[in-house]
Structure 1
Amino acid sequence: MLNRRQILGVGAASAALVSTNAWTKTTNMGLPEAALMETAATQPPLHPSTGPDYQPVVTLNGWTLPHRMNNGVKELHLVAEPVEREMAEGMTAYLWGYNGQSTGPTIEAVEGDRVRIFVTNKLPEHTSVHWHGMILPSGMDGVVGLSHPGIPPGKTFVYEFDLVKSGTFMYHPHADEMVQMAMGMMGMFIVHPRDPAFMPVDRDFLIMLNAFDIDPGSYVPKVMTMVDFNLWCWNSRLFPDIDPLVVNKHDRVRVRVGNLTMTNHPIHMHGYDFEVTCTDGGWVRPEARWPEVSIDIPVGAMRAYEFDAKYEGDWAIHCHKSHHTMNAMGHDIPTFIGVNKSDLTRKIRGLQPEYMPMGTAGMADMGEMEMPLPDNTVPMMSGWGPYGAIEMGGMFSVVKVREGLASDDYSDPGWFENPPGTQAYEWTGELPDLARAENARTTITPGRTRTKS
């Protein structure tokens, strides 16, 4: 993590929002350092140095924004600015974000804290920050033209309010929202319970679901796209370059998932069932929790679930919409399953010797072939496991449960070695009789009779 001194708007020209209905210009306002992140790797959790204790969150491929204390107030500094984000190895996107990165840094505080958040605008147009799901004064809500004027380019505003409830919240602009959110401006805001004994966990992971429409070979998202996004991301990152969720066996684990895309996402985790324990509206009472193996995350919402890490292994976690686990999706590609393309292939190779026919037997071969691609894009399916191509992309990662990890160890432990007798294998012996439907009509289950009504 690098630090840089904020150089914009700290003198008499800086405008600051200091109450719900009053605007003032400040003189010699001392801003906290604007922390900057230039790596796409998951950063270690930021443990509290003052106040109540809590288990800090781990943001996949992200980080937590440092704060300073000023007369009992937690001060933080967000800088809205153009950023370059490595979405996967070999592909960089030109986005808008905060403090050098999209998604922006995670903000962590404690229920009852008073926070003062300086927001400096380095974008070419005005912006704001809406604190999604939080209870606060109307003038701090961040809706341009309604809550307060937009933050002009080059200016710094201050948002100041008390954190009256714990939970998982989000932040994003409510200014030219279609453009600014499509360009990657969003982040998460975690408010930990004041009582460390309330809802404790050993590991706490954070995922922001976001999506972009970026043509292969280009760098800037299309901001007018409504449904046909081609890159489905976790924290502006694509598999196989989304970091794993590393867990010590027997840990109590929480996974918080926020959704600021334009569609819902059914997040499915293999190997476990879990309980939904929190929404962006608050904590779910124990008697109201329900068991799941998949949880649908609505648009503009958050869900958190918890489980006890009993089972060692490498367990997939992904969106269950199949196109959302693919990269650089093309929506106008014809289906060639069952088509004999041998004559066509021979003719095309006369002009283009490198031509590779694909799709006649499905698309799995795309995970293994290394086809020539335009600059600055990623394969539709990529990523390798211990037994070959994983054939996934986009919203996909792995929960890696291991025994004996230190409480602060989040490093990738490598691939799990399945104990003898616990892995599927090829069978070459005699097979049982095969039952098969003989026609396409609906049949009556054997042993059942119909009664007339």
Structure 2
Amino acid sequence: MVTRFPTTIGLLVSLTILVSCTSVHKQEPPVKQQSVAPESILTTTKLRKLPALNETDTIPLTNQVREFKLEAKEARWQLVSGVETNAYTFNGTVPGPTIRAKEGDIIRVILKNSLTEETSIHWHGLHVPNLMDGVPSFTQHAIKPGETFTYEFLANHAGTYMYHSHFNSIEQIDKGLYGLLVIDPQNPGELKHDKEYTMMFGGWNIPNQAGGQTKQGQNDSMSGMSKGSALGIKKKGDIRSLMEHGMEDKKSTPDPHAGMNMPSESPDNKPGSTVMEMDYNYWTINGKSFPDTSPIEVKYGEIVRIRLANISNGIHPMHLHGHDFRIIAKDGHPLTTPQVVNTVTVNPGETYDIDFIADNPGQWLFHCHELHHTTNADVEPGV
């Protein structure tokens, strides 16, 4: 990702941040350096003086119902120009549509399953009623092909969250079945942002590309997850055995999943992922790899908020060039004292909210500092 200040006049200078887990690919013309007062360069004084986010204590009901319709379906998805793959999508896109509501609203999501296998939705990080948690064999029936299921719960805490499949999760999430959920506060407080952007980090295994797995079970190690090298083999058991065990624990109660089709038997109960090996060779932000990621464009002096969410099984230390930023929230919870840094490590399943002041003209990178993630099919930068 790149931050660019083209030469314009005064405070109308535009800041462009090209966002991706990958680096710059295109050769850009040199940027004419703008004259900047020395005291305004490389200082965090203004950043540190910004107020913190408000923490929620009480949530009055709004009596508003926010209804969303999602369809889980297969589609072809283009990660980057020239590279397409079969994906599982919500409403035909990766990620699915952003679900957004205000504290105190009722969120109603009507999910139609148009896949050829069962699925469900888990509301990652939200406190929802048990029957709405979206985990087949424990809280609901898996939603069979052609069926529709309605989720309904209170938007009870402002923050950045995710939603994703919780059935055959490794395969379905790695193929794109996820999205972002944002709950806005009823009382925003003193902190105001001029621009807001979201970045959802994904990992993909594209066969017949460098680093890609060409068949299931080719590699029993879970490699390429954090440092681009093989990790220790983890004997976690497969989805089928875990779900059968869960149902055995519930024999004293009516089985909520009688007749549910289970995932197919995994060969020899091999360790780790037997579906996609988690050998990611493409990394995406909002479903796209560099240089097809969308740039962030802001004006000089604007206060910018970015919501980061990691749905992949890779670790992403996101680093911004030319600026420091504040960590203002983690997993939906505001930090009483925001931390000023230039790199934040976003682990699998985590969300962070960061903000910065666009006060240093130029063209800057914002990228993952696990440098394997700055490649497409092992080629840096980009394709």
Normalised TM-score (structure 1) = 0.56
Q: Give the conservation status (yes or no) of the 8 Å contact 1:182–1:221.
A: no
CA shift for structure 1 position 317: 0.6
> Residue 287 of structure 2 corresponds to which residue in structure 1?
236
- Give the SS at the match of 1:153: coil
Letter in 2 for 1:192: D
Q: Give the conservation status (yes or no) of the 8 Å contact 1:84–1:101.
A: no
State whether structure 2 residue 328 is matched by structure 1 residue 308. Answer: no
CA RMSD across the alignment: 2.2
User: In the aligned structure 2, how far is the partner of 1:249 from the partner of 1:221?
Assistant: 49
Count residues with an aligned counterpart: 264
> Residue 117 of structure 2 corresponds to which residue in structure 1?
125
Q: Give the conservation status (yes or no) of the 8 Å contact 2:206–2:281.
A: yes
Letter in 1 for 2:93: Q
Which ranges of structure 1 fall in alignment gaps of 5 or more residues? 1-59, 62-70, 330-379, 382-391, 395-453
State whether structure 2 residue 95 is matched by structure 1 residue 107. Answer: no
Q: Give the conservation status (yes or no) of the 8 Å contact 2:205–2:213.
A: no
- The alpha-carbon distance between structure 1 residues 90 and 133, as it changes in their structure 2 partners (threshold 3 A), is same
**Which residue of 323, 327, 342 maps to 1:272?**
323
1:332-385, CA deviations, whole angstroms, 9 ceiling, x for partnerless residues?
xxxxxxxxxxxxxxxxxxxxxxxxxxxxxxxxxxxxxxxxxxxxxxxx23xxxx
Letter in 2 for 1:393: G
1:115-162, CA deviations, whole angstroms, 9 ceiling, x for partnerless residues?
111001001111100000001111111111111111111111100111
Q: Give the conservation status (yes or no) of the 8 Å contact 2:323–2:342.
A: yes
Q: Give the conservation status (yes or no) of the 8 Å contact 1:276–1:305.
A: yes
User: In the aligned structure 1, how far is the partner of 2:64 from the partner of 2:186?
Assistant: 15
> Residue 197 of structure 2 corresponds to which residue in structure 1?
205
> Residue 284 of structure 1 corresponds to which residue in structure 2?
335
User: In the aligned structure 2, how far is the partner of 1:307 from the partner of 1:281?
Assistant: 18
User: In the aligned structure 2, how far is the partner of 1:94 from the partner of 1:219?
Assistant: 15
Letter in 1 for 2:326: E
CA shift for structure 1 position 220: 9.7
User: In the aligned structure 1, how far is the partner of 2:189 from the partner of 2:353?
Assistant: 18
State whether structure 2 residue 377 is matched by structure 1 residue 328. Answer: yes
**Which residue of 204, 207, 229 maps to 1:215?**
207
Higher relative contact order (CA 8 A, sep 6+): 2
Regions of 4+ moved over 3 Å: 196-199, 216-223
**Which residue of 78, 84, 87 maps to 1:92?**
84
**Which residue of 381, 393, 396 maps to 2:382?**
393
Q: Give the conservation status (yes or no) of the 8 Å contact 2:203–2:314.
A: no
> Residue 252 of structure 1 corresponds to which residue in structure 2?
303
- The alpha-carbon distance between structure 1 residues 276 and 96, as it changes in their structure 2 partners (threshold 3 A), is same
User: In the aligned structure 2, how far is the partner of 1:301 from the partner of 1:134?
Assistant: 13
CA shift for structure 1 position 281: 4.1
Letter in 2 for 1:313: G
Which ranges of structure 2 fall in alignment gaps of 5 or more residues? 1-18, 21-62, 217-273
User: In the aligned structure 2, how far is the partner of 1:313 from the partner of 1:199?
Assistant: 26
CA shift for structure 1 position 243: 1.1
Letter in 2 for 1:256: R
> Residue 29 of structure 1 corresponds to which residue in structure 2?
none
1:73-129, CA deviations, whole angstroms, 9 ceiling, x for partnerless residues?
111101111022111111211100100111111111111111111001001111100
- Give the SS at the match of 1:205: strand
- Give the SS at the match of 1:312: coil
User: In the aligned structure 2, how far is the partner of 1:216 from the partner of 1:105?
Assistant: 30
- The alpha-carbon distance between structure 1 residues 220 and 243, as it changes in their structure 2 partners (threshold 3 A), is farther
CA shift for structure 1 position 303: 1.1
Q: Give the conservation status (yes or no) of the 8 Å contact 1:212–1:221.
A: no
- The alpha-carbon distance between structure 1 residues 189 and 260, as it changes in their structure 2 partners (threshold 3 A), is same
User: In the aligned structure 2, how far is the partner of 1:152 from the partner of 1:176?
Assistant: 13
- Give the SS at the match of 1:315: coil
User: In the aligned structure 2, how far is the partner of 1:220 from the partner of 1:283?
Assistant: 43
Normalised TM-score (structure 2) = 0.65
**Range 210-219 or range 229-238, more displaced:** 210-219
CA shift for structure 1 position 198: 5.2
- Over alpha carbons, which structure has the higher Rg? 1
Mapping of residues 26-425 of structure 1, within 5 Å: 72-197=64-189, 199-216=191-208, 224-285=275-336, 287=337, 289-329=338-378, 380-381=379-380, 392-393=381-382
**Range 306-315 or range 218-227, more displaced:** 218-227
- Give the SS at the match of 2:363: strand
Q: Give the conservation status (yes or no) of the 8 Å contact 1:216–1:328.
A: no
